[in-house]
Amino acid sequence: MIPKVFKEVIDLGDGREISIETGKLAKQAHGSVVVQSGKCMLLCTVVSNYKQADVDFLPLTVDYREKFAAAGRYPGGFFKREARPSDGEVLTMRLVDRVLRPLFPKDYHSETQVMIQLMSHDDDVMPDAMAGLAASAAIQLSDFPFECPISEARVGRVNGEFIINPTRSQLEESDIDMMIGASADSVMMVEGEMDEISEEEMTEAIKFAHEAIKVQCAAQVKLAEAFGKKDVREYEPERTDEDLAKKVHDMAYDKVYAVAKAGSSKHERSAAFAEIKEEIKASFSEEEQEDFGGLISKYYSKAEKAAVRDLTLNEGLRLDGRKTTDIRPIWCEVDYLPSTHGSSIFTRGETQALATVTLGTSREANQIDMPSYEGEERFYLHYNFPPFSTGEARPIRGTSRREVGHGNLAQRALKGMVPDDCPYTVRVVSEILESNGSSSMATVCAGTMAMMDAGVQLKKPVSGIAMGLISDADSGKYAVLSDILGDEDHLGDMDFKVTGTADGITACQMDIKVKGLSYEILVNALKQARDGRLHILGKITDTIDTPNQDVKEHAPTMISRRIPNEFIGALIGPGGKVIQEMQKETETTIVINEDPVTEEGIVEILGVGKKGIDAVMAKIDSLLFKPQVGSIYEVKVIKMLDFGAVVEYTEAPGNEVLLHVSELAWERTENVSDVVNMGDVFDVKYFGIDSRTRKEKVSRKAILPKPEGYVARPPRDDKRSGGRDNRGRDNRGRDNRRDDRKPREEKKED
List residues bridging with 382 in a β-sheet.
429
Task: Work out whether the CA dihedral 527, 531, 532, 534 comes out positive or negative.
Answer: positive
Q: How many CB atoms lie within 10 A of CB 602?
A: 16
Q: In terms of residues, how long is the chain?
A: 750
Phi-psi region of 17 (alpha: psi -120 to 50; beta: other; left: phi over 0): beta
Contact (Cβ atoms closer than 8 angstroms) between residue 28 and residue 45: no
Q: How far apart are CA 722 and CA 587, in angstroms?
A: 61
User: Distance between CA 207 and CA 661 in Å, rounded?
Assistant: 85
Instruction: Give the whole-angstrom CA distance, residue 697 versus residue 687.
Output: 5
| C-alpha dist (Å) from residue 222 to 21, 24, 144, 226, 550 | 12, 18, 17, 6, 62
Determine the Cα–Cα distance for residues 363 and 500; give it in Å rounded to an integer: 30
CA–CA gap between residue 623 and residue 614 (Å, rounded): 14
Going by the DSSP 8-state scheme, the letter that residue 160 receives in this structure is T
Counting Cα atoms < 13 Å in the Cβ hemisphere of 277 gives 18
C-alpha span between 561 and 614 (Å, rounded): 12
The three-state DSSP-derived secondary structure of 334-386 is: ECCCCCCCEEEEEEECCEEEEEEEEEECHHHCEEEEECCEEEEECEEEEEECC
Q: Is 674 annotated as a binding residue?
A: no
Please, are residues 351 and 390 in contact by the beta-carbon 8 Å criterion? no
Residue type, 739: D
Distance (Å, whole) CA 661 – CA 642 = 8
- Alpha carbon 63 to its chain centroid, in Å, reads 21
Q: Which residues pair with 287 in a beta bridge?
A: none
Listing DSSP states for 73-142 in one string gives -PPSSSS-S--SPPHHHHHHHHHHHHHHGGGS-TT----EEEEEEEEE--TT--GGGGHHHHHHHHHHTS
Tell me the C-alpha to C-alpha distance, in Å, between residue 125 and each of 15, 128, 194, 447, 732: 13, 9, 21, 33, 79
Phi and psi at residue 514, to the nearest 5°: -115, 150
Residue 495, annotated as binding a ligand: yes
Using alpha carbons, select from 141, 157, 170 the residue that is nearest to residue 198: 157
Q: How far apart are CA 123 and CA 69, in angstroms?
A: 14
Q: How far apart are CA 336 and CA 510, in angstroms?
A: 33
- Residue positions forming the annotated binding site: 489, 495
- Residue positions forming the annotated binding site for Mg(2+): 489, 495
